[in-house]
Chains A and B, each alone.
Chain A
Amino acid sequence: KQEVTQIPAALSVPEGENLVLNCSFTDSAIYNLQWFRQDPGKGLTSLLLIQSSQREQTSGRLNASLDKSSGRSTLYIAASQPGDSATYLCAVQSYNTDKLIFGTGTRLQVFP
């Protein structure tokens, strides 16, 4: 059974810092790995999707990497801003199913 873990559970940093969020998964037979952002009252928004054949994806100040063999992904946020404050969720989609398995999330607070 696929299990997804995110560390840390919460993070508070001053504006301008570069930071790394971690995600690990137990079954390397994945179709893709996705990072979502969750804002209160606004549901989840997909940030980056890494296909199983890819090593990383970038969007603006966000960079996500994938190491399938070790079951790990990282989300790197450069030059953090207060607007980045949200909960970040990692999810994997396995080859034999269309279901997304989510981690428990990292709650990020960026203070001015």
Chain B
Amino acid sequence: DADVTQTPRNRITKTGKRIMLECSQTKGHDRMYWYRQDPGLGLRLIYYSFDVKDINKGEISDGYSVSRQAQAKFSLSLESAIPNQTALYFCATSAQDRRPTDTQYFGPGTRLTVL
């Protein structure tokens, strides 16, 4: 089974709807991240969490909110979706101890389309 899972994998919704994207991990990592990927812009960080009680805004947090329900679960919400939030969304995790050899482990992504 995959270490980092995302649900749903694809979602089409309408402007103004509330959407929640979910991420679960079995790696036992404390740190979790949400990114979005747009053509020509690479991945950009939306929110990140170092543990259940520590949540931080990333580069592009406006229009998004997150919830860290448990060490293994990190959800991203769009309270009122708009078309320019159409993108590929990735969840990632990393270990607690910050070492120069640490990498992030990514989920398969959620493709969101807002009409």
Contacts and interface: CB of A to CB of B under 8 A. Distances in A.
A104 B108 contact: no
Interface residues of A, number: 24
B15 interface: no
A77 interface: no
Given A31-B100, A49-B101, A98-B94, A89 B43 contact: yes
Given A51-B101, A52-B100, A99-B48, A42 B108 contact: yes
A103 B43 CA distance: 8
A79 interface: no
B42 A105 contact: yes
Contacts of A102: 42-44
Nearest to B94: A98
Interface string A1-40: 0001000000000000000000000000001101010000
Interface of B: 4, 9, 31, 40-45, 48, 50, 58-59, 90, 92, 94, 98, 100-101, 103-109
Interface of A: 4, 31-32, 34, 36, 41-46, 49, 51-53, 89, 91, 98-100, 102-105
26 contacts: A34-B103, A41-B9, A41-B108, A43-B106, A43-B109, A44-B90, A44-B106, A45-B106, A46-B104, A46-B105, A49-B101, A49-B103, A51-B100, A52-B100, A98-B31, A98-B50, A98-B94, A99-B45, A99-B48, A99-B59, A100-B43, A100-B45, A100-B104, A102-B44, A104-B40, A104-B42
